[in-house]
A and B are shown apart, each in its own frame.
Chain A
Amino acid sequence: MSIRSLELRARAVVEGFWNGLHRSPYHGFSVEFTEYRQYTPGDDPRHVDWRVYARTDRHYIKKFEDETNLRCHILLDRSRSMEFGTTGHTKADYAATLAATFAHFLHQQGDAIGLMTFDEQVRELLPARHRPGHLRHLYHAIESPAAGTSTQLGKPIERAADLLHKRGMVIVLSDFLADPAELEKPLLRLAAIGHEICAFQVLDPSERDFSFRESSLFEDAESGTTLHIDPAAARAGYLQRFNAHQQALASVCARVGVSWHPLVTDRPLGMALFDFLQDRARRGRIIRRAS
């Protein structure tokens, strides 16, 4: 609801967001035929179907579907580590809501949305479409429970690069709790195809701050291995390693040209999206200026 009230779409048009978003390689030309219509004066004669005229001696206009300017693919991480959460909802919930929001308003503005869920491998793939029932399929796929035992971002992104040939936009939703070095090569490949990549890192506040107090056996959500941890003693080391990881991730993204958005689940979703759109608008201006 908060997303609707923000009137993102109008804002994006005003700020020139669509320019950035609409760099479709087909220049307003659609291949999706829908129906024939009698020619009336004033119609563009380019659209008259001459073959039909040759057969029937009448002028018919070939009508196409609304033109799609953007193909957007959402890559959603469904691994077990996403099932962790201390704020009343898990990271998976947060990421799913975010994915649904993207899907919803991109669909509303007529763009084609695709979805790829993955854990250590690709689980589900819905090609980018803009059809009346497509959104419901998407929601269903987003809501399916997480099953993966580990997060390997490299393989799914490589697979995405194999499957997504047409240029468009790729949104990656994950906690990125994997080795950053593995990410660089697949991301580069994906970017080289011409995709614009946005990476959203969904984190729990306790992952960021390691705010546990009582010592206990810590169990890995994915592998199930346990470690005895005294938080007071372990916090400093954790934060040091976590921050190093975040920096490594940010530097990889900067090198590849991926827009990088860490999100913490205690933050309202609308705010996070708002930040993202502002960032997008800024990037759009930059691109326009560059062009």
Chain B
Amino acid sequence: MSFLAPFFLLGAAAIAGPILFHLIRRTTRNRTLFSSLRFLRPTPPRLTRKSRLENWLLLLLRCLALALLALAFSRPFFRQPTPPTSPDGPARRTVVLVDTSASMRRPDLWNDAKARAAQLFREAGPGDQLALVTFDRNSTLQVSFQQWEAASPADRATIAIAALDALQPSWNPTHLGPALVRAAEELSDTDVAQDAVRRRIHLISDLQEGARLDPLQSYEWPKGIEVIPEPVKASRTGNASIQLIAEAPDADRGTDPAVRVRVSNSADSKREQFQVRWASTDPSTPIPAPLDLYVPPGQAKILPVPVPTNSATASGTTNLPVANRPSSLVLSGDDEPFDNTLHVHPPQPSRLELLYIGNDTVAEARQPLFFLSRALPETRRQTVKINAAKPSSPPTPEALASARVIVVTSPLTDALSDSLRTRMESGQTVVFAPTGPDASLTLARLIAVPGTTLVEEKPTRYGLLGELDFRHPLLAPFADPRFSDFTRIHYWRYRRITTPLPTNAVVVTRFDSSAPAWVDFPVGRGRLVFLASGWSIADSQFALSSKFVPWLYSLLDLAGSSLSPSVHPLVGDPIPLPPGRTGLLAIRRPDGTSTNLPPSADRFTGTDQPGTWWIGEGADAKPVAVNLDPSEGRTAPLSMEQLEKLGIQLDAALSTAAAPTPKPAGTPPAAEAESRQKLWRWIITAALCLLALETLIAGLTARRAVPVQDPA
């Protein structure tokens, strides 16, 4: 038997204590009351042979317990020869977990990480099993245990190093929690007897503060899996980062557009003075002067940066086209450049024309046009221009072509109906909401189903929308139960379609009498939205309800002119795509390459780099600024206590980063053998049992003993 801490054996000398106490204790235990001590003289306590013999069992138990405690503290273990099956030590299953997040783009980190991983691969013994997992936002198994086993021992390291060499740090954030869970599952998910092998995870990462550990909160770390952190350290400390934050709530009211950015400086930074300036790919674009900024270490500041929308020329100011505007903010004054560029596309006011064809005027306060003109006010982001026309004086073909949405509330002439149908086939949206019963012919011509008839209906008191299809884009914004209550809208009259509907028509809502209320008729590339009851006061309360304005916006979205608030996706985030597309959608990456997406795709998930992504082609192309995750900028080192708090078994002592000690060949190191055998636990248990027995015996003895004098 050997000892890890033999000095603790000296503690066994404490046995002298109980022996001494046993010798002298009896003499001082009893107190006897006596009437007067005037005839007594003190006699010294005597160590009699009798007192030693009386409690010999207790004495033995106490001495034994002390000796066992001293033995346990000296951490004994047996030096066992290593099993002959693995000459280089016990079999090990190791997952090498390599960080490929954006923060690894800092100079030298990636090369350092690769070198460490390569060293691990080369040092692996023939009995060892290794797997390589890389992680950033996602965890990827690069080399599995099966691939490692399948390769010949000589080639294994080469295969793994080659797999690692093919990789580069991505622009993704560090999701360390899911990666550790993945690696632990790789190690647990094995048919090998798990007690016989050592299972370890070598975590090669910059271990930055911004790493996300969320899934570990709810994950019970499997027993026997050790994590060996191997942090790679950057040559420079400190980092500042720039981040786009939400616009102020009253941003729409201002006249000068500005973006708000937060500049954070890490606590270990040595710099305090920074500059924020606009940058553009086009050298001819005028750039405003940079803004100076003072951010002390460990603090952050929020800064509004005016957006340069105009350029001063000799003839005055001109509005810059979107593609030529500066699209990124650059933070200078920081040592680490990887997170210093913020791509920004301030929302551009989108212009949209809406053509209204009806017999009423804006001044008639109970008619549809009145409500329509007030529901779509002009804001900094959007301008909806409403052109009104009467059926008697039809709009010009140019006016028809330029309108994205055409709203019709009165019967049309056949010629006008036909031209509207042509517009729909070319992709425009027509809303037909007749206010009277005499619109059968117009509807029949618009949907090209002759014989379609409409009958005016008046419910006894009022009608309600009874059946709503919230999957339809028109109702999708109301799908949340908080907004899905349409029962407050009363309908006084509506028009029932008496003939069967075409098969491709989609009934969006029905009245409680089961008559269709809103019907979506696809026509060519466009569509006709038929409302059996409009929003004039004579028809319903729809225009007065809180649903009307959101419904109009979802109608505009359906028509392909998204006015929804701008999104600020991060690298890896999906970008929602405009619905109702009919052809392929081109996506242009920041590096110039393009991808085409089918019409069925409702989102684009391949945002793998920061920059300006263009959705669509030509003049319709919309820029989307994709940025680096702000948490990547928090490069201060992550404290190991945080990992330990989450239940992860760390083995910092064996980390190669902490001065590796050469192992004696043939036998495992003493600490390793001792930690595996854990004899001290059994010895402590035995000592506790002895003490319990001692307490029991001492208690019984004390109860039996007569406490005071016993005169004859």
Chain A interface (Cβ < 8 Å from any Cβ of B): 81-82, 84, 86, 91, 151, 175, 177, 204-207, 211-223, 225-230, 233-234, 237-238, 241-242, 245
Contact = CB atoms under 8 A, between A and B. Distances in A.
B704 to A, nearest CB: 15
A219 B33 contact: yes
B36 A245 contact: no
A238 to B, nearest CB: 5
Contacts of B30: 214-217
Contacts of B33: 84, 218-219, 221
A229 B28 CA distance: 10
A205 to B, nearest CB: 8
Interface in B662-705: none
Contact of A177 (B36, B41, B43, B46): B36
A229 B29 CA distance: 12
B39 A216 contact: no
Given A211-B711, A219-B34, A230-B43, 20 more contacts: A81-B35, A81-B36, A211-B712, A212-B709, A212-B710, A213-B711, A214-B710, A216-B29, A217-B32, A219-B31, A220-B36, A221-B33, A221-B35, A221-B36, A222-B35, A222-B36, A225-B37, A226-B31, A228-B43, A241-B38
A207 B28 CA distance: 22
A213 B710 contact: yes
A219 B712 CA distance: 19
Contacts, number: 98
Interface in B39-68: 39-46
Interface of B: 27-46, 709-712
Contact of A204 (B29, B35, B41): B35
B45 A215 contact: yes
4 cross-chain pairs, A with B, having the tightest CB-CB distances, nearest first: A216-B30, A84-B35, A241-B39, A81-B35
A13 B35 CA distance: 39
Nearest to A90: B35
29 contacts: A81-B35, A81-B36, A91-B35, A151-B36, A207-B35, A213-B712, A214-B709, A214-B710, A215-B30, A216-B29, A216-B31, A218-B32, A219-B32, A219-B33, A219-B34, A221-B33, A228-B27, A228-B42, A228-B44, A228-B45, A229-B32, A229-B42, A230-B43, A230-B44, A230-B46, A234-B41, A238-B39, A241-B38, A245-B39
Q: Which of B36, B42, B43, B45 has the most CB of A within 10 A?
A: B36
B37 A218 contact: yes
A233 B32 contact: no
B603 to A, nearest CB: 91
Contacts of B46: 215, 230, 233
Given A212-B709, A213-B710, A177 B40 contact: no
A237 B43 CA distance: 11
**Main SS class of interface, B:** loop
Contacts of B35: 81-82, 84, 91, 175, 177, 204, 207, 221-222
A229 to B, nearest CB: 6
A242 B712 CA distance: 19
Contact of B40 (A86, A175, A215, A218): A218
Contact of B45 (A223, A230, A234): A230
A268 to B, nearest CB: 20
Contacts of B40: 218, 227, 229, 234, 237-238
A216 B32 contact: yes
A212 B32 contact: yes
A220 B712 contact: no
B474 to A, nearest CB: 100
Given A206-B711, A213-B712, A215-B27, A220 B34 contact: yes
Contact of B43 (A214, A226, A229): A229
